Structure 1
């Protein structure tokens, strides 16, 4: 999610990065409601369905990684960019900004909906936020949870904790794009670097997801 937010921010501006973050946050909100109602518990009960979701998520990540890689070259801007013809192109720029912002939201939202680990998060940690007791947050982290167990244990059972959790997400998806856009205005080469890093992150996880899906179907 952060790779998509970063790419959208440096290539298309703060609004696009913010809307990408809202896309991921919207998926989280949907999963939270469905998990609280017990609707998405069947994902864990049917390994084949989960494997299919992992495969779809992997394909989407590779597709978005390809797009990010293509954006690397186009993200190099000339030194006088934005000076010549700025007044004549304002309408086109605004239209393009609206279009890319919507694209960022859709990319993050669709990718989040096909991420079984995001569903698993809400089936474990997310729902646990409402149950009185304690919750070992980092213990549920995929792959490295056993090594992180006990590092972050919180008291649960208060709706304020859920509100604070989503409030924290909102602060992140607001501040992270703003920081990247501010840095990109000072460093012309930042956009292609971020786009390239985003492509590598998405491609890496895409290959990982596809290998896991293939292993699940072949086992």
Structure 2
């Protein structure tokens, strides 16, 4: 019924639209079929009064479909919705929004999430010749995050991890080398990352981060402060 982000399934949305259209059409037909003189003398208001519960229900359905679940953003699509567990001004993304972004938009979304979490000087630096880095940032202990974003439709393989391992620490001086993959990693890639202490954010972790959780809580990264 609901998708990965908790929104209504598109087919059910379509069915609701159809029901709403039929209900509104029936009301209009009944109204237009009445004698014109009767409509002018007051039957219009009587019809509205009779159909008020239906109208209120339609308003609530439309509010659900187009209100709290509507997202928009400045680059591709970001949002700051209200919720019980997340403050109203917290930046969040839906997974389907992240999937539909351009590669640059996906990198920028991750940069914005780092800024949301209070990381210092988050910058998107990805591009041709980036040598395995899309985003840089520092945490409150001045540790350097080197982040590589992969928006692939399939899991990221170990070859990409090997390249990342060859530049993240030796070339960029990363304290925390993090690779983000929209659709996760292959098992050989996971094994390689564990052996070389690379930090991976797969789809489940990305979803939690995008939906409002703090990056280090999602990744299980502890403070080094004594």
More strand by share: 2
* Short-chain TM bin: under 0.3
More helix by share: 1
TM-score (norm 1): 0.27
TM-score (norm 2): 0.26
Larger Rg, first or second structure (1 or 2): 2
